Structures are given as structure tokens and as C-alpha cells.
Structure 1
Amino acid sequence: MVSLPKVLGYLRRDIAGIRQQAIEPLMRSAAGDFGYSYTKTMAVSDPFASERALIALVANSGVPAVIVPSLKHFEGGRPPEALMRLADVLVMEPRARFTRIEAGSL
């Protein structure tokens, strides 16, 4: 049996609101559609520290991808460049995949 690469779920509570509990199973399902095995969700409350914490977690865990409900969960509506250097970013709505940036490609 071939194991799928792992993906970390990420969402901001201030954006997900009361829908958080409904969003998490949808992220798990979407991860499978993208060809990944869902590991866990990083749900954060502080929008200012959250992206730094996400980048640190991805760097330390080595997961090859992060999945988000929408780009609204990132400041400025786009994945941080530092995250893009570490992992692919998968977006549920609208469905999109941002491929990891290789060093020296910018």
C-alpha cells in the first residue's frame, strides 16, 4: 500500500467563526481529493502571529503541503512567500494549488 504525503490544515478562527467545526471535515475530504493524507488542523486566533507560527510548524514538521478553506485565511489574501518556500498550499474554495517555490526561482 502506498502512503500519501501528509498535509496540515490551517484556518483562522476569526474568519471561520462558528463554521470551524463544519470546515475541518471538509478540509480532510479535500486533502484526499488533492492526493494527500490529512494530519491535523492548526486553528489560530491571533491573525498577527498565526502565519509565523504556521511557517515554524511546517519548517519543524516537514509536511509537504498545507490546506486552507480559502485564501482569506492568509493576510492579504495570498500565501506568505516564506511558507511557499517550504510547502505546497492547497485551497478548497476556489479550488487551487500553489506549488512550492524552489530556491532561486524569484
Structure 2
Amino acid sequence: MKFRPTAIGYVRSDISGARQAWDETKVRSTAALRGFDFAKMIVIDGRTGKPLLAGLKATIARINAEAVFVPSTTHFEGGTVPGDLRQAVDVFTVSPENVYSRTGSDGH
């Protein structure tokens, strides 16, 4: 059996709105197309705030995830991928399609 790296998805329901189910589907399918084993979808609303990043990082560590897939950077506070998240995993955006790697180089 071939090893596939593990990924999780992250969606903010307040950003997705009526498109939430579509965003979740696109996140899962993009992870699969990139060769990842999709383990978990984390969905929050905007009221969760800063504790989210700690919870997201705890989930990453618990399941040994290599990547986080997100519909777009607008799902992160301030519209940018948090630097400490990029230290832990590669972050993939669905639209526009982009990779924010742990090495610090943006895009593919």
C-alpha cells in the first residue's frame, strides 16, 4: 500500500455562507487530486476567533497532518495565511489555486 500524506480542511461558515457545502466539496476534491488522504473538515464561524489557530494546530499535531486545504485566504483572519500555521504545514487554497509551503515560498 502506498503512503499518502494526511490533510485536513478548514472552512469558515460565515465566509462561505450559502456556498459552504460547495466549499467543503471543493476542499475535499482538491486534496484528493493533490494525492492527500483527507482526514477531517474543520468548520467554524467567525466568532471563534484566535483560539481557533491553537485548536487547528492541535488537530494537525494529533493526526500528523501534512497540509491544510482552505477555499481561499479570506477564510483566515486578515485574509492572509498565519505564519505559525505555515511553519507547521503546507497550506493549499482552492481559489485561486495556490500553495503556501512550509519553506516560505508562495505559489505553484
TM over 0.5: yes
Structure 2 residue 6 is matched with structure 1 residue 13: no
TM-score (normalised: structure 1)? 0.85
* TM-score, structure 2 as length reference: 0.83
Tell me, in whole angstroms, the C-alpha distance in 2 between the residues paired with 1:16 and 1:53. 20
Q: Deviations over 1:19-59 (max 9, x none)?
A: 11122121111002222121110001224432332123223
Unaligned 5+ runs, structure 1: none
Give the Å deviation of 1:64.
Answer: 0.7
Amino acid at match of 2:5: P
Tell whether the 8 Å contact from 1:64 to 1:87 is kept in structure 2 after alignment.
Answer: yes
Distance in 2, matches of 1:59 and 1:4, equals 17
Counterpart code for 1:25: T
Aligned to 1:69: 71
Return the letter of the residue paired with 1:75.
Answer: E
1-structure distance, mates of 2:53, 2:13: 13
- d(CA) in 2 for partners of 1:88, 1:18: 27
The separation in 2 between residues aligned to 1:52 and 1:30, in whole angstroms, is 24
Detail structure 1 runs of 4+ shifted over 6 Å in the superposition: none
Show structure 2 runs of 5+ residues with no match.
Answer: none
Give SS of 2:88's match: coil
Is the Cα contact below 8 Å between 1:8 and 1:67 reproduced in 2?
yes
Whole-angstrom distance in 2 between the partners of 1:50 and 1:18? 22
Between the aligned partners of 2:25 and 2:50, the Cα distance in structure 1 is: 26
CA contact (8 A) 1:12 1:47 kept: no
